[in-house]
Amino acid sequence: MSCIKTLKEKGLKLTPQRRLIVDAIHDIDTNLTAEEIITHVQARMPEVHKSTIYRTLELLEKYGCVFKSEVGERSVYHHVDERHHHHHLVCSSCGKTIECDEDFFTNLEKSLAEKYGFNVDFKHIVMSGLCEKCKNKNK
Amino acid sequence: MSCIKTLKEKGLKLTPQRRLIVDAIHDIDTNLTAEEIITHVQARMPEVHKSTIYRTLELLEKYGCVFKSEVGERSVYHHVDERHHHHHLVCSSCGKTIECDEDFFTNLEKSLAEKYGFNVDFKHIVMSGLCEKCKNKNK
DNA sequence: ATCGGTATTGCACCTGGTCGCAATTATACT
DNA sequence: AGTATAATTGCGACCAGGTGCAATACCGAT
Ligand SMILES: [Mn+2]
Ligand SMILES: [Mn+2]
Ligand SMILES: [Zn+2]
Ligand SMILES: [Zn+2]
């Protein structure tokens, strides 16, 4: 429930719309599409406009309560306080999703920082490719 | 000009619209937004519809003539036969772009394949983060 | 409990991109 | 050159997501 606390601390108003959006992110499990959030919210308060929802999600991202990742065209939102940070491998053929530990990226991050002085911002990445089954299926 | 050859080989029709799109990808430099391509094409043939352009781009991507990367919301298209493959580091603060050798990713690819049996599809990635200057600027 | 100022909302409209469909056209065959 | 036909095009409607603005509501001060 730290989302609510964060909003308060930042001096932002606690509207019923915002409470519902925060609820959605807590209630439903991880990796929500914007559409799922909109459905959840409008089920209990139908007049809430999608623009309100997108704006709130943007806010929550800005204050570190939520990650936003692009999966293909769509966006996926992801509540932040989880057991541990992770990324996702999504099979472009069958859609299967594998959780991938973020440790795999620490080397890469380090070498990009060394070579280019660049600090990459790897937060909850979604990578596409082929899972084991699909890889073998196609000969 | 291998794009044209590829289209022919695949038994696809060589329409004037398609020629113009291929021209755009060759004429203007690398990393084109869809908008730039549309402008280029419609400057010489105004009636070409955006849907035609998106469909052709999709085709060219499918047959390996062009890479498509997502930069934030927008898509960027990238002609394939370059000196060498690369990725990009884009500074989220000043917009600077650094070309990054794809070798940095081979370890990661290998370990993801070993651990998860998953073949990631890393083609011309665009990663955001902070460049050296901007990193230091913010204290 | 009321009040005022500011943050937030809903709305209407916009943009990039996708899709189904009927009209058009590139190509292969005669 | 003329024709058949499957591929391609332009169009319009549509989708996710974002924005400016006037109306509203939260919240702290009285
Ligand atoms: Mn996740
Ligand atoms: Mn490039
Ligand atoms: Zn799969
Ligand atoms: Zn920078």
Portion 9-68 of A in contact with B at CB < 8 A:
none
Q: Tell me: pLDDT of A29 over 90.
A: no
Q: A36 and A10 share a domain?
A: yes
**In a shared domain, residues A67 and A1:** yes
Q: What is the pLDDT of residue B81?
A: 67
Instruction: Tally the domains of chain A.
Output: 2
Structure tokens at B110: 């290998």
Which residues of chain B fall below pLDDT 70?
1, 29, 71-73, 81-84, 138-139
Task: Indicate which ligand has the atom closest to the C-alpha of A79.
Answer: 1
Q: How far apart are CA A104 and CA A87, in angstroms?
A: 9
The conformation of residue A103, written as its DSSP 8-state character, comes to: G
Which pLDDT belongs to residue A57?
96
Rounded (10°) angle between helices B16-27 and B34-44: 120
Residue B83: Cβ within 10 Å count: 5
Look up the pTM and report it.
Answer: 0.81
Instruction: Assess whether pLDDT exceeds 60 at residue A139.
Output: no
- The CATH number that applies at residue B94 is 3.30.1490.190
Domain residues for the domain of A110 are: 84-139
3-state class percentages of chain A: helix first, strand second, coil last, to nearest 5? 45, 25, 30
Per-residue pLDDT tens for B38-72? 999 999 999 999 999 999 999 999 998 998 887 66
User: Quick one: A1 and A46 in the same domain?
Assistant: yes
**Residues of chain A neighbouring B100 (CB-CB closer than 8 A):** 112, 116
Q: From the CB of residue B9, how many other CB atoms can be counted at a distance below 10 Å?
A: 10
Same domain, B28 and B4: yes
Of B105, B122, B130, the CB nearest to A119: B130
Span A58-106, pLDDT tens digits: 999 999 899 888 766 678 888 876 656 778 888 877 777 888 888 888 9
Q: Which of A58, A16, A17, A13 is nearest to A34 (CA)?
A: A58
